[in-house]
Amino acid sequence: MTYNSDTISAISTPSGTGGIAVLRVSGDRAIQIVTEVFESKKSLLSVKSHTAHFGKIVDQNKIIDEVIITVFKAPKSYTGENVVEISCHGSNFIAHQILELLLRKTRLAEPGEFTQRAFFNNKLDLTQVEAVGDLINARTKKSHQAALQQLEGSLQRKIEKLLTKLTKYRTLIELEIDFVEQGLSELNIKKTEKDLWKLHSELNKLAATGNEGLILRDGLKVSLVGAPNVGKSSIFNAFLETERAIVTPHPGTTRDYLEEVISLKGYLVRIFDTAGLRKTEDAIEKIGIDRSYQIIKNSHIVLFIIDGSENKQELNLLQKLIDPAKIIKILNKTDLFSKKEEDNFKQKRYILCSAIKKDGLDRLKERLLKEIEISEKELHSGILTNSRQIAAVKRSIKSLEKAIVSIKKKLGYEFTAFDLKEASSALEEIIGKITSEDILNEIFSNFCIGK
């Protein structure tokens, strides 16, 4: 991916009607080009950076709209180039009229090209680029906080610290190679090996944040599972506080899974109401049940729901499909049970609830929160938030392990230095110090035009 320095423009706000629309222009000639179509008491060429100016956008003396122009001069701008933002009235027609005018002397920006230029001009590292996308797509308080912390450099700082340590040990090893050739030895190899194991532990702790980060960004996947008519859809509706799923006394009402998203104390939770797991001759219902199995396999948590009788066969099947630790057992319809019967199920580690009366749902929500709560300290210190970052850290760990093995087996310091270099390279990919064009294309293709 090459950096193109021509001047680009695009509409930055979503399509449709609103109070205002914003257009963005970036490049060496951005201020000059906008000046040519902007009537105001003062020329934009003479104004200071980070100032806003009222005036009119005109096309051959024909007024298109009254606007506010904001000027950001290089290098103190989002892209690192001269940037002009035009705030006009929120008519889709007006915004496109202004864009057509700009495109006479600019090029339409590619998706994510403004942020791409920020990356190439060292305004953002690659984790911050990804954070911009996550911030735009944030749907809850916690996903917003995670994206904001990453944009402010929390993960970048953590990676840089790890890289500093790896570089230090690789330098010591490479110096030792020279000393050995001269018949000298300065390195305390046992201490170095011990220090590398400490670094290995730090990397493992960082890798462990990946699952939490994915959940913060994409949501905790929770499947409601159980025999037909145990009240899965009623619990689904109770979570949503609306009648989303059809509830009837007839088994097999839910023939395909339903998915909805809720915010649980700021955390994104994706709830799946699955088809009742049973043998059926109905072709359509069978397809729904097969799809439900796939949803269950990909869930972080499965709520196994019964309404009185334990379905051990179904529970055993679930435990073969997923890690038993992911299963939370729920007794629904507790309004129909005696105190003695409820105590019996409590002893079997069931959470008791009545979806109809909305009793016990708070206990269930608290149980789900235990699976996803992340401290403010952990967010601030930097966590992994996507599969690319997780894979890179795992590669770094693997290379570091090879380096430690080469020391243990006395394979030669050249091997140790090489493996430490590989461990560093994997971390450098995370922040974009080294990266492939395919990775950059994949990241920036997920952005919309105008960002």
272 and 338, same domain (yes or no) = yes
Q: How many CB atoms lie within 10 A of CB 178?
A: 11
Cα dihedral 187, 190, 191, 192 in deg (nearest 10): 60
Q: Over the stretch 67-110, which tens digit does the pLDDT of each residue have? A: 999 999 999 999 999 999 999 999 999 999 999 999 999 999 99
For residue 382, give both structure tokens. 């930097």
Is pLDDT of 182 > 60? no
| 3-state secondary structure at position 93 | helix
Q: Which 8-state DSSP code applies to residue 78?
A: S
**C-beta separation of 302 from 326 below 8 A:** yes
* 125-171: pLDDT as tens digits: 999 999 999 999 999 999 999 999 999 999 999 999 999 999 999 99
CA distances from 80 to 45, 51, 84, 93 (A): 18, 16, 12, 30
The predicted structure's pLDDT at residue 336? 81
| Phi–psi pair at 66, nearest 5 degrees | -85, 135
Q: Give every CB contact of residue 434 below 8 A, 6+ residues apart in sequence.
A: 425, 428
- Domain holding 302: CATH number? 3.40.50.300
Contact yes or no for 329/348 (Cβ under 8 A): yes
Residue 51 is part of a domain; what is its CATH number? 3.30.1360.120
| pTM assigned to the model | 0.84
User: Within a domain: residue 131?
Assistant: no
Helices (H) and strands (E) in the chain, counts: 16, 13
Q: Tally the residues of the chain.
A: 451
User: Is residue 365 situated within a structural domain?
Assistant: no
Asked if 65 and 157 sit in the same domain, the reply is: no
Look at residue 80 and tell me if it is in a domain.
yes
Task: Determine, yes or no, domain membership for 267.
Answer: yes
> How many domains does the chain fold into?
3
Does 1 map to a domain?
A: no
CATH number at residue 417: 1.20.120.430
Asked if residue 254 lies in contact with residue 214, where contact means CB atoms within 8 angstroms, the answer is no
E-strand ranges in 121-232 read: 220-226
Q: Which residues contact 233 (CB under 8 A, 6 or more apart)?
A: 245, 246, 247, 253, 254, 258, 273
Q: Is the confidence at residue 375, as pLDDT, over 80?
A: no
Task: Give the pLDDT confidence score for residue 316 in this predicted structure.
Answer: 75
Does 374 fall in a domain?
A: no
What is the domain extent for residue 224?
220-354
Q: Are residues 161 and 228 in the same domain?
A: no
